[in-house]
Amino acid sequence: MKHIKDSVYIIAEAGVNHNGDRDLAFSLVDAAAAAGVDAVKFQTFDAERLASKKAPKAAYQKQSGDESESQLEMLKKLELPKAWHQELQTHARLKGIEFLSTAFDSESLVFLSTLDMPLFKVPSGELTNGPLLWHFAKTGKRLILSTGMATLSEVEQGLAIVAHALEYSHEPQDMDEVWRNWGCQNVRQRLRGHVTLLHCTSQYPTPSNEVNLRAMDTLATAFGLEVGYSDHTEGCLIPIAAVARGAKVIEKHFTLDRALPGPDHKASLEPNELRQMVADIRSLELALGDGHKSPQVSEWDTRKAARQQVVAARPISAGAVFSREDLTTARSGHGIPPTALWGLVGKHAKRGYGTGETIEL
């Protein structure tokens, strides 16, 4: 698997958009691979461990389904059976992309650890779940931490917990132990290249005025880590803008059909849109270049044709002293640059010139 820093790592978030349908889950893998993403990601959870019987649904979840239905009832319909995971992973790798899934409980994390995935994505809701986050970090896998709903201090707390897991074999006795460890610069340095922070707004879909892409800069400056963006807006504009702003990971929900029932379909791209987003990001990566300012290969011919040189403004006799009125500039394809004009005033012409003829030193 390529390193994240080599190019933008694009994750097509299938999430729960399989709706509990095995064929739909495999079709999502096919669509992700056809779009050219790096990985397709699902969600792995035990609904009864994740939500209590009385846990309410979020507002966006109520809008996309039965308002009287509990969160637990909804989640039970959206579980990804363990038996499908290995088959989906094999299918994804045959298609040339990675299979990822996010765990929402410790038992699911233990199960996913058997699948040899290249990294783990920690969802926004679990950033403050210290015990689960510690076990995510203890796997030793590279981590992508999503920061939706979080304050900067909560992000730092999460990173401190990850750092503790990288240093110690035992869970912390308390947060004082975590913070004492976080105070060591060498410990913090271990997170570089190991943890990527995803800016995110946990609303589905996210309105543009709540995207706040500049928060990516805040995260990068505060922690010195690679940053990315997990997108829940409608359309492709915002994730592409995030890449232009420096995102090294893009995660975007997708579906086969936004009209399907379920909580996440509305804020998802359909296959053709996902394909276009990937193509636009790859084009943007090329356009960003290496930052070195110099003429490009294709510019050299234009450079010669478009730039002006010093020429005679009127006939000049051989031996005459150049006056300012004798000299001007025009495109001639060769000769001395316009900035040399001032230095010619007061010097003698070595030969005669006709109007418009290129001046020679």
Domain boundaries, the chain: 4-288, 297-344
For residue 106, what is the enclosing H or E element? helix 106-112
Q: What percent of the chain has pLDDT over 70?
A: 93
pLDDT tens column, 297-314: 999 999 999 999 999 999
Question: Looking at the predicted structure, is the pLDDT value of residue 77 above 80?
Answer: no
| Under 8 Å between Cβ of 338 and 306 | no
Report the candidate in 116, 107, 57 with the shortest Cα–Cα distance to residue 85: 116
Question: Check: CATH 3.20.20.70 for 4-288?
Answer: yes
Tell me the one-letter amino acid at 210.
E
Residue with the bigger pLDDT between 73 and 129: it is 129
What per-residue confidence (pLDDT) applies to 198?
Answer: 98
Tell me the Cα Rg of the chain.
30
String of b and e for 312-340 (b: at least 16 CB within 10 Å)? bbeebeeeeebeeebbbbeebeebbebee
- The token pair that represents 192 in the structure block: 């570089």
DSSP SS3 for 147: coil
For residues 101-121, give the mean pLDDT.
Answer: 96
For residues 288-299, give the mean pLDDT.
Answer: 95
d(CA 216, CA 327): 53
Phi, psi dihedrals of residue 360, rounded to the nearest 5°:
-115, 145
What per-residue confidence (pLDDT) applies to 4?
Answer: 46
d(CA 63, CA 267): 12
Mean residue pLDDT of the chain comes to 93
Measured on CA atoms in the order 151, 155, 158, 160, is the torsion positive or negative?
A: negative
Phi, psi dihedrals of residue 203, rounded to the nearest 5°:
-135, 140
Q: Which pLDDT band, with edges at 50, 70 and 90, does 342 fall under?
A: very high
Range with lowest mean pLDDT among 14-23, 87-96, 148-157, 271-280:
14-23
Residues contacting 285, CB < 8 A, separation 6+: 7, 8, 243
- The token pair that represents 8 in the structure block: 């933008």
pLDDT tens column, 8-58: 999 999 999 999 999 999 999 999 999 999 999 999 998 777 766 666 645
For residues 67-94, give the mean pLDDT.
Answer: 86
What per-residue confidence (pLDDT) applies to 264?
Answer: 85
What per-residue confidence (pLDDT) applies to 69?
Answer: 63
| Under 8 Å between Cβ of 213 and 242 | yes
Report the candidate in 334, 339, 342, 324 with the shortest Cα–Cα distance to residue 360: 334
Q: Which pLDDT band, with edges at 50, 70 and 90, does 138 fall under?
A: very high
For residues 61-90, give the mean pLDDT.
Answer: 78
Q: What percent of the chain has pLDDT over 90?
A: 86
Q: For 43, which DSSP code?
A: E
Question: Looking at the predicted structure, is the pLDDT value of residue 361 above 60?
Answer: yes
What per-residue confidence (pLDDT) applies to 305?
Answer: 95
What per-residue confidence (pLDDT) applies to 49?
Answer: 74
What per-residue confidence (pLDDT) applies to 72?
Answer: 74
* Global confidence as pTM: 0.87
d(CA 92, CA 215): 33
Q: Which pLDDT band, with edges at 50, 70 and 90, does 3 fall under?
A: very low
pLDDT tens column, 84-106: 999 999 999 999 999 999 999 99
d(CA 324, CA 313): 9
